[in-house]
Amino acid sequence: MNSLESRNKARGAKIGNLPATMTVASGRFLDALLRLFLRDLKVLESELGSRDLSLRRPEYPNLASSDLGIFLKAFVGLYLRDLRVLSRELIPFLLRVGMQPLLFLFVFTFILPRMAGGNPLAAGGGSAAAAGIDFGTIILPGLMAVAIMFSGIAAVALPLSSEFGITREIDDRVMSPLPLWAVALEKVCFSAMQSMVAALLVIPMAYFIPAKPVEAHVANWFLLALVLLLASLLAGSLGLVIGSTVNPKQIGLVFSIIVVPITFLGCVYYPWAGLDKIPWVKYGVLFNPIVYMSEGLRASLTPGVAHMPSWAILTALVFFTAALSRWGLNGFLRRVLS
């Protein structure tokens, strides 16, 4: 009996000590797990501090070299995504950018010249008419400028008006590993590509539709490329301003009271030099950015038509592009962060 009791006591002692042993072991395990968690948290904080936070802070710090690859991949990814969406809507895009210049050329350079009275817009054309320059040659650069402007505004302002709406689709874009200003820059760059395509589509129309062939030749390829690039970026920047500052419900009103007037007063259908007899209009339209787009394309495509000096055109394009980009970027950041 004594030996049996002693064995039972020893067994009870082991059983009684088991919870204490498990408590010590579990405590050591939790302590090790806590140390691992704190170590991983410190690594995560350092990664966020060096990458993600630096990419998203609105004060735009300089990107580290390790972040440049992420920046470029995300930027190109957004661009290719928009390009993929555009490729699915290629026919509507071509109709949107080509319908207005097509109809204008068809009516004013194909139908009216074949009528008995001729084209009333070409009558009394001043120095251009005296030099034998046809109306189609005069309006070719202007129609290209209109195509650039309308395409740039439509490619940025209209999507932004819906993305800033109730669904807040813009939040999906700003979650990419890019600074906020780069998201806005991608929209402007993508719209610039569309604007240049729209402008180049006008050239074959102007050669095949008018009754009298258009007399246009590239006098300066570098000037043409530079004007196309600056004008396209300017149009995208203006679209960014409209899309980020105007209420989505008022987008249609903006086109009626802003876009259409600046188009008709943008030296599209007449050269700026032809306004000599109306000096208050001649100098008043200098605040219109489409004037410099039209005159820049006129200087590079139809040098026989009187135009502004190239240095004045390029200076104005750079100024308006920088000013509208800054304005649009501030409005974009304010709408996203609000």
Q: What would the DSSP string read from start to end of 23-66?
A: HHHHHHHHHHHHHHHHHHHHHHHHHIIIIIHHHH-TT-PPPPHH
Q: How far apart are CA 17 and CA 10, in angstroms?
A: 11
Assess whether pLDDT exceeds 50 at residue 198. yes
Q: Are residues 19 and 141 in the same domain?
A: no
Among 45-59, 120-134, 214-228, 257-271, the minimum mean pLDDT is found in 45-59
pLDDT > 70: percent of the chain: 73
| 118: phi then psi, degrees, rounded to nearest 5 | 75, -170
pLDDT > 90: percent of the chain: 20
Work out the average pLDDT over 214-239: 89
Assess whether pLDDT exceeds 50 at residue 197. yes
Work out the average pLDDT over 41-63: 47
**pLDDT: which is higher, 201 or 43:** 201
Assess whether pLDDT exceeds 70 at residue 209. yes
pLDDT, tens digit, 9 for 90 and up, residues 111-169: 877 775 566 555 544 545 445 567 778 888 889 999 999 888 888 888 887 777 766 77
Work out the average pLDDT over 9-21: 49
Q: Are residues 261 and 115 in the same domain?
A: yes
Q: What local confidence, expressed as pLDDT, does residue 103 receive?
A: 86
**pLDDT: which is higher, 105 or 69:** 105
Q: Are residues 157 and 277 in the same domain?
A: yes
Q: Are residues 321 and 224 in the same domain?
A: yes
Q: Residues 158, 160, 165, 171: is their CA dihedral positive or negative? A: positive
Work out the average pLDDT over 89-104: 85
pLDDT grade, residue 24 (50/70/90)? low
Q: What local confidence, expressed as pLDDT, does residue 291 receive?
A: 93
Q: Are residues 5 and 101 in the same domain?
A: no
Work out the average pLDDT over 7-33: 54
Q: What local confidence, expressed as pLDDT, does residue 228 receive?
A: 94
**In the chain, how many domains are there?**
2
Q: Does residue 264 fall inside a structural domain?
A: yes
Q: Are residues 72 and 46 in the same domain?
A: no
Residues of the domain holding 95? 66-337
Nearest to 199 by CA among 100, 327, 81, 59: 100
The chain-wide mean pLDDT, for the chain, equals 77
Assess whether pLDDT exceeds 70 at residue 22. no
Q: How far apart are CA 82 and CA 191, in angstroms?
A: 10
Q: What local confidence, expressed as pLDDT, does residue 159 receive?
A: 82
Numbers of helices and strands, H then E, in the chain: 14, 0
Q: Does residue 147 fall inside a structural domain?
A: yes
Q: Does residue 157 fall inside a structural domain?
A: yes
Residues near 227 by Cβ (< 8 Å), separated by ≥ 6? 293, 296, 297, 299, 300, 313, 314, 317
Q: How far apart are CA 287 and CA 13, in angstroms?
A: 96
Q: Does residue 61 fall inside a structural domain?
A: no
Assess whether pLDDT exceeds 60 at residue 205. yes
Assess whether pLDDT exceeds 70 at residue 315. yes
Q: At what angle do helices 289-301 and 221-245 cross, to 10 degrees?
A: 160
Work out the average pLDDT over 232-249: 88
pLDDT grade, residue 237 (50/70/90)? very high
Assess whether pLDDT exceeds 80 at residue 330. yes
Q: Are residues 37 and 91 in the same domain?
A: no
Q: Are residues 22 and 122 in the same domain?
A: no
**pLDDT: which is higher, 293 or 24:** 293
Q: What local confidence, expressed as pLDDT, does residue 87 receive?
A: 86
Q: Are residues 155 and 293 in the same domain?
A: yes
Cα 270–271–272 angle (5° rounding)? 120
Nearest to 194 by CA among 243, 230, 147, 263: 147
pLDDT grade, residue 54 (50/70/90)? very low
Element (H, E) at 230: helix 221-245
Q: Are residues 286 and 189 in the same domain?
A: yes
* Under 8 Å between Cβ of 118 and 200: no
Nearest to 159 by CA among 263, 253, 262, 82: 82
Q: Does residue 42 fall inside a structural domain?
A: yes
Q: Are residues 35 and 101 in the same domain?
A: no
DSSP codes, 55-77? HH-TT-PPPPHHHHHHHHHHHHH
Q: How far apart are CA 238 and CA 131, in angstroms?
A: 36
